[in-house]
Structure 1
Amino acid sequence: MDLMKGICILVVVVFHLKLPYLYFSSMTLFMLPAFFFCSGIFFSKHDSFKMFLIKKTNTLLVPYLFFLLTDMLVTVGFYLKDIQGGWLNAYYSSMALHNGPIWFLLCLYLMSMLYYAVCYIKSEWIKTLLMLALSFLGYILGKYHVGLPLYIDIMLSSAIFYHCGYLFKCNNMLTGTKAHILIKFICSLVLFMIMILPLNSVPQLELANNDIPMPFYYYLLAGISGTLMVAFFSILIERFYVVNYWGKYSIIILCTHWGLIRIWGYILPYVLIQKAIVLWGIFAFVLLLSFPLIKLFVIYLPKYCGQTPFLKI
């Protein structure tokens, strides 16, 4: 699944840059659902809850807190030049303090805890209906602009995709001969195309804000079909070395690319940064710099980016 995660993290960077010629609003329909789906694939309840909690804390919560604290320190330091506006003004005037994408780690951490509890239900049908109901509840909260703390509303909206990942793994639906995988890929691609082609304008899914501007059935079908399209494509290709590498360390790219993009927002004038050639340059900058950043974190800070345990089991 490293290739799938690599494709998804590339889509995330493209989305945040609104990269000309490569960004389409249709990619938002599966971008984050695919990440939740991937996480569901790797879910396992074989461990005791204590061991499960420690593992998820090491891989999700510790990186979230580390990058959140780092971002807060950088923000305060950067805005010291605006000391006349006051520290509080510096705090609120920056986009950095929620470091864009790192919300996903906390949301996924809570999702894992929720799903561990849900897995006490033996019946797959009841479990599926419950996850559908939770997703619908999250959808309704988004429709009425009711936000819950700790991204719980987003967690609820995304619950069905996490469950689908686990369900597909348990039922061996992601395995088979190349011919079978190809047929599954074509079917998921056709279904995704059926969802988006009749529309004059594909709605942009802003799951990070729990903004789902589409009917619930469309949200589910487009998200699941798009996710499966990427999943089966990844299984067919198997390996694209650079993208696999990015997928393996997707958590580091997820937590650093927003800051790398923001650097250019401070350096370049707004008019210039809207030009296609500049945005493509920033895209290349982010991807190229990911290699030394990954090395840096893996060698010197592995405990803080989920690569080695921070808490001992």
Structure 2
Amino acid sequence: MNDNTNKRIDFVDLTKGVCIILVVMAHINGAFAKFDENSMISCFRMPLYFFISGIFFKSYEGFLGFFIRKINKLLIPFTFFYVAAFLLKYIVWKAAPGVFHLPVQWSEMLVIFHGHDLIKFNPPIWFLIALFNCNILFYLLHFLRDKHLKLMFALTLLIGVTGFYMGKYRFELPFYIDVAMTALPFYAAGFWIRRYNFFLFPHRFDKLIPLFIIAALIVMYFTATTPGMRTNSYSGNIFQFYVAALAGIFMIMLFCKKFKHIPIISYLGRYSVITLGLHGPILHFSGQFVSRYIHNEWILAFTLLFTTLAICIATTPFFLKVMPQVVAQKDLIKIR
């Protein structure tokens, strides 16, 4: 075991880019919904995000510093995209009532306190809260790794299983805490895989990547189900959920390791929080406009995909230059 937490992994941005594109496709729905019918994509899409986040876990200078850093990286972007999306839709609704079907009420600002209710004015950003809670859970467990490693593994699995069955029996916790519990094994797997060179860094096993990808596809074919992580609801059993998701995670990461860097996709991945926060409102407005002129479902789906990604890419430099603090590129709350 080697600790390589200070080395940059060249293909992780590409992996994040693939992941955020899959997320945008899922929210376009329409023709892309057919990709989810056999569950081969949906089974790993959101678990992959938790896994990648675990790769970069650091305890920093203590809990307070860690907590503030995660506020800067996750809760501040959430708050910005949450409030900005609501205000945008509210202003448009007042300026042109009925045009975009936007009856927005101020009471909707409290939706985050209503269990797993859909954030209608910006649905995708629920993930940022769930990831924040997952970070805190793992921080509380990771101290066990030096002297009580088996206990750490056992507690991680226990929390994950508990979260999964809370979803099965529809027992919800506020702020997606139950979702974070279910996702904790993926986050922990990312943390541990960072410490093994053969997977993340160049290795003689890389020549077998095509075989590993085929093996992962076979596993997914027989185990994949369609999970609903936002609602913590799962159609399959616990074995299917975790095995299919992990197979899909390793398949995508090995694929990206093979290609290492694809400029536009890697760029999207590097600043994926911007695309995550923007694409919901963009799709709401552009979807209603574009659908008036394009009626073929596949052409419509790809038009919306390319339009949404193009807008996100075009606006990213603005956020990086003008307000990097709200997109996790600089700290808003300073850490001494």
TM-score (norm 2): 0.83
Counterpart of 2:225 (choices 203, 206, 209) is 203
Q: Is the Cα contact below 8 Å between 2:72 and 2:332 reproduced in 1?
A: yes
Q: 1:46 to 1:129 in 2, by over 3 A?
A: same
**Partner deviation per Cα, 1:46-84 (whole Å, 9 max, x = no partner):** 42222212211111111011111112212322333559x
Counterpart of 2:82 (choices 53, 65, 68) is 68
Identity %: 24
1:157-306 matched pairs, under 5 angstroms: 157-183=182-208, 186-196=211-221, 198=222, 203-267=225-289, 275-306=297-328
- SS of the aligned residue for 1:208 comes to coil
Q: 1:87 to 1:155 in 2, by over 3 A?
A: closer
Q: Is the Cα contact below 8 Å between 2:274 and 2:316 reproduced in 1?
A: yes
Instruction: Give 1:300 deviation, angstroms.
Output: 1.0
Instruction: Give 1:186 deviation, angstroms.
Output: 2.7
**Partner deviation per Cα, 1:140-194 (whole Å, 9 max, x = no partner):** 1111122211011111111100000001112335245454134256335413423
Q: 1:86 to 1:265 in 2, by over 3 A?
A: closer
Q: Residue type of the partner of 2:24?
A: V
**Partner deviation per Cα, 1:107-152 (whole Å, 9 max, x = no partner):** 1111111111111213332212211111111111111122211011
**Partner deviation per Cα, 1:272-295 (whole Å, 9 max, x = no partner):** 667221121111101111221111
Instruction: Give 1:215 deviation, angstroms.
Output: 0.8
Distance in 2 between the 1:12 and 1:37 partners? 15
Q: Residue type of the partner of 1:256?
A: L
TM-score (norm 1): 0.89
Q: Is the Cα contact below 8 Å between 1:63 and 1:304 reproduced in 2?
A: yes
Q: Which residue of 2 is the match for residue 4 of structure 1?
A: 15
**Structure 1 residue runs of 4 or more that deviate by more than 6 Å after TM superposition:** 92-95
Q: Is the Cα contact below 8 Å between 2:287 and 2:304 reproduced in 1?
A: no
Q: Does 1:107 align with 2:130?
A: yes
Q: Residue type of the partner of 1:243?
A: I
Distance in 2 between the 1:228 and 1:222 partners? 10
Counterpart of 2:56 (choices 42, 59, 65) is 42
Instruction: Give 1:97 deviation, angstroms.
Output: 4.4
Distance in 2 between the 1:289 and 1:132 partners? 40
Q: Is the Cα contact below 8 Å between 1:205 and 1:212 reproduced in 2?
A: yes
Distance in 2 between the 1:52 and 1:89 partners? 33
Q: Is the Cα contact below 8 Å between 1:9 and 1:253 reproduced in 2?
A: yes
Instruction: Give 1:264 deviation, angstroms.
Output: 2.7
Number of residue pairs aligned between Structure 1 and Structure 2? 309
- SS of the aligned residue for 1:66 comes to helix
Of residues 99-108 and 202-211 in structure 1, the stretch that sits farther from structure 2 once superposed is: 202-211
